[in-house]
């Protein structure tokens, strides 16, 4: 009989499940994390858990914060399970490893009590505020790079006496209180997949603070550290299948486990205001410059995700591993990485790029992850400008090859029509869904309609070389299908 996961059941779980050997009652919060999703729980929280197993970092426990009303379910689960959850590591050979992670010791839901969240961050014991708020959570225009001061949530949080509801409002108020109380500012540590994520976070939060008070904005920009980082661990969305398998194989009833691959990487700029955990002891690479590692990951791994997602879906696939085991798609992915993405990368110290790319194909091909193409295709308007367009623009500027990048963009445009090649509907999940689908459905008569959105693509449509290749590739996708188009592009 499976046991419900909580503090009381820990000692009774099967020996096949690794559990914390450290005394969680001794763990004190040092990190407040905004945006507790699957990735944070498979990645940053795991590194802290490793340290605690070594008897280190017991004063660096995590207080999770849900910022959105939709985070209520996570609040309910963490309350029922004493903030414990299971990480299930899925190996390519079918082996599963299960570990109960204990590094998160508190959880607060901001919509219920924003004051409690602000005071938790303002407390001197909090020395790091970390973020996984998704690529779109920084309120920065992908074209102008400017903070959107017209966002309704931002405008609401800027009102005097407002009940704060955005990460900007909550973090800025906490920083202001620390400044007024003579408490040094905490470090804001972004762990999102964004080029220069720390720089983006600084621009975003300093801009909001400046809208509230110009002096406060200057102080945030000057005094608050925002280290850049690169994070990597493939973490599919948790499903009921995962829950049932955990219960059946390990005897654990976990309402929200996390499933992930064995591979994990974290490269972090060593810049903190109030100290940090000894993360290097848990395998984190502390470096002076994250950018080479970050560009490698964004353009090779994340760019390849986009290359697989739309075209694989159009070809009738559901799972990532099936796409990667198709020789045509494997050739396309390696072609994208070798021909178009790699030439745009600076040297990456200590990394064998050929091995890294081979490992990516192996990671993508893991049949036991059952990671879906739909996950890769969601919120594309936040991802494509960061992962793929920089590769395309650099090759346009240098006269390099662009055909495979163009095929990915044309694949997105064809995907956004909302109907697959087999006639089945495609659910387009994107904050810009309405405008994207409308433009995609005009492209039979206006082939450049989709890429004419200057908020997303800037002046790309004005480049004659790009426009000609894009129109040709889109027409091929619509008339000949994905496989024939990829064969032509690769040829």
Question: Order of strands across the sheet with 17-18?
Answer: 17-18, 96-101, 85-90, 258-260
Q: Are residues 46 and 133 in the same domain?
A: yes
Q: Are residues 253 and 360 in the same domain?
A: no
CB 320 within 8 A of CB 377: no
Q: Are residues 280 and 364 in the same domain?
A: no
Residue that terminates a domain, selected from 287, 306, 323: 287
Kind plus residue range of the DSSP H or E element containing 455: helix 454-457
Structurally, the chain folds into a number of domains equal to 2
User: Residue 379 is encoded by which pair of tokens?
Assistant: 């919120």
pTM: 0.86
Q: Are residues 432 and 457 in the same domain?
A: yes
CATH of residue 435: 1.10.1040.10
Q: Are residues 242 and 112 in the same domain?
A: yes
For helices 482-490 and 464-480, the axis angle rounded to 10 degrees is: 140
Distance CA 261, CA 164 (A): 37
Over 294-344, what HEC string results? Answer: HHHHHHHHHHHHHHHHHHHHHCCCCEHHHHHCCHHHHHHHHHHHHHHHHHH
Distance CA 334, CA 348 (A): 19
Each residue's pLDDT expressed in tens, for the chain with a length of 491 residues? 899 999 999 999 999 999 999 999 999 999 999 999 999 999 999 999 999 999 999 999 999 999 999 999 999 999 999 999 999 999 998 899 999 999 999 999 999 999 999 999 999 999 999 999 988 899 987 667 799 999 999 999 999 999 999 999 999 999 999 999 999 999 999 999 888 999 999 999 999 999 999 999 999 999 999 999 999 999 999 999 999 999 999 999 999 999 999 999 999 999 999 999 999 999 999 999 999 999 999 999 999 999 999 999 999 999 999 999 999 999 999 999 999 999 999 999 889 999 999 999 999 999 988 899 999 999 999 899 989 999 999 999 999 999 999 999 999 999 999 999 999 999 999 999 999 999 999 999 999 999 999 989 999 999 999 999 999 999 999 999 999 999 999 98
Q: Are residues 237 and 320 in the same domain?
A: no
Which 3 state secondary structure label does DSSP give 288?
Answer: coil
Q: Scanning the structure block, which residue is given the tokens 């992670």?
A: 101
Q: List the one residue out of 339, 295, 303 whose CA is nearest residue 411.
A: 303
Residue 143's pLDDT is 63
- Can you give the residue range of the structural domain that contains 316? 291-490
Integer-rounded Cα radius of gyration of the chain: 23
Distance CA 329, CA 335 (A): 9
Q: Are residues 283 and 297 in the same domain?
A: no
CATH of residue 116: 3.40.50.720
Q: Are residues 266 and 282 in the same domain?
A: yes
Q: Are residues 212 and 335 in the same domain?
A: no
Return all residues near 43 (Cβ < 8 A) that are at least 6 apart. Answer: 191, 231, 233, 235, 264, 266
Residue that terminates a domain, selected from 241, 261, 287: 287
Q: Are residues 11 and 26 in the same domain?
A: yes
Pairing of strands 187-190, 128-131: parallel
DSSP-derived secondary structure for 17-79: EE---S-GGG--EEEEEE---HHHHHTHHHHHHHHHHTT--TT-EEEEEE-SGGGHHHHHHHH
Q: Are residues 82 and 164 in the same domain?
A: yes
Q: Are residues 153 and 228 in the same domain?
A: yes
How far is C-alpha 207 from the geometric centre of its chain's CA atoms? 22
DSSP-derived secondary structure for 69-125: GGGHHHHHHHHHTTT-EEEEEE-TTS-EEEEEE--EEEEEETTT-HHHHHHHHHSTT
Residue that terminates a domain, selected from 237, 266, 287: 287
Residue 370's pLDDT is 87
Which 3 state secondary structure label does DSSP give 445?
Answer: coil
Over 390-412, what HEC string results? Answer: HHHHHHHHHCCCCHHHHHHHHHH
């Amino acid at each position: 009989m499976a046991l419900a996961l909580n503090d009381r059941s820990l000692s009774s779980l099967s020996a096949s499940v690794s559990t914390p050997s450290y005394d969680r009652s001794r763990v004190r919060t040092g990190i407040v994390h905004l945006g507790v999703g699957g990735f944070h729980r498979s990645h940053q929280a795991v590194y802290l858990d490793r340290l605690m197993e070594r008897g280190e970092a017991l004063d660096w426990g995590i207080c999770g914060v849900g910022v959105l009303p939709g985070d209520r379910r996570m609040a309910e689960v963490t309350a029922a399970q004493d903030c414990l959850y299971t990480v299930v590591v899925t190996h390519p050979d079918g082996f599963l490893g299960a570990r109960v992670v204990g590094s998160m010791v508190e959880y607060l839901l901001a919509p219920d009590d924003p004051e409690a969240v602000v005071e938790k961050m303002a407390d001197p014991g909090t020395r790091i505020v970390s973020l996984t708020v998704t690529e779109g959570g920084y309120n920065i225009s992908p074209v102008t790079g400017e903070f959107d001061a017209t966002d309704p949530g931002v405008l609401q949080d800027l009102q005097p006496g407002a009940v704060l509801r955005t990460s900007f409002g909550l973090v800025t108020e906490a920083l202001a209180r620390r400044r007024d109380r003579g408490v040094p500012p905490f470090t804001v540590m972004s762990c999102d997949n964004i080029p220069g994520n720390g720089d983006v976070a600084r621009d975003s939060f300093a801009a909001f603070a400046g809208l509230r008070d110009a002096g406060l904005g200057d102080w945030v920009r000057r005094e608050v550290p925002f280290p850049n980082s690169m994070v990597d661990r493939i973490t599919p969305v948790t499903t009921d299948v995962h829950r049932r398998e955990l219960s059946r194989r390990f005897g654990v009833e976990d309402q929200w486990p996390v499933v992930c691959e064995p591979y994990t990487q974290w490269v972090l700029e060593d810049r903190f205001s109030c100290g940090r955990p000894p993360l290097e002891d848990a395998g984190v690479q502390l470096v002076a410059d994250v950018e080479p590692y970050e560009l490698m990951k964004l353009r090779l791994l994340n760019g390849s995700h986009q290359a697989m997602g739309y075209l694989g879906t159009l070809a009738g696939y559901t799972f990532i591993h099936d796409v990667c085991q198709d020789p045509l798609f494997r050739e396309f992915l390696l072609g994208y990485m070798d021909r178009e993405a790699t030439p745009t990368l600076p040297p990456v110290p200590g990394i064998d790029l050929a091995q890294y790319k081979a490992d990516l194909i192996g990671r993508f091909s893991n049949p036991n992850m059952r990671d879906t193409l739909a996950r890769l295709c969601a919120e594309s308007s936040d991802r494509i400008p960061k992962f793929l367009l920089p590769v395309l623009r650099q090759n346009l500027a240098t006269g390099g090859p662009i055909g495979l990048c163009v095929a990915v963009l044309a694949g997105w445009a064809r995907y956004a029509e909302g109907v697959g090649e087999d006639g089945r509907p495609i659910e387009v999940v994107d904050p810009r869904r309405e405008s994207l689908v409308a433009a995609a459905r005009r492209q039979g008569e206006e082939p450049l309609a989709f890429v004419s959105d200057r908020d997303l693509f800037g002046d790309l449509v004005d480049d004659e070389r790009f426009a000609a290749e894009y129109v040709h590739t889109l027409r091929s996708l619509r008339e000949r299908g994905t496989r024939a188009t990829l064969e032509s592009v690769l040829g």
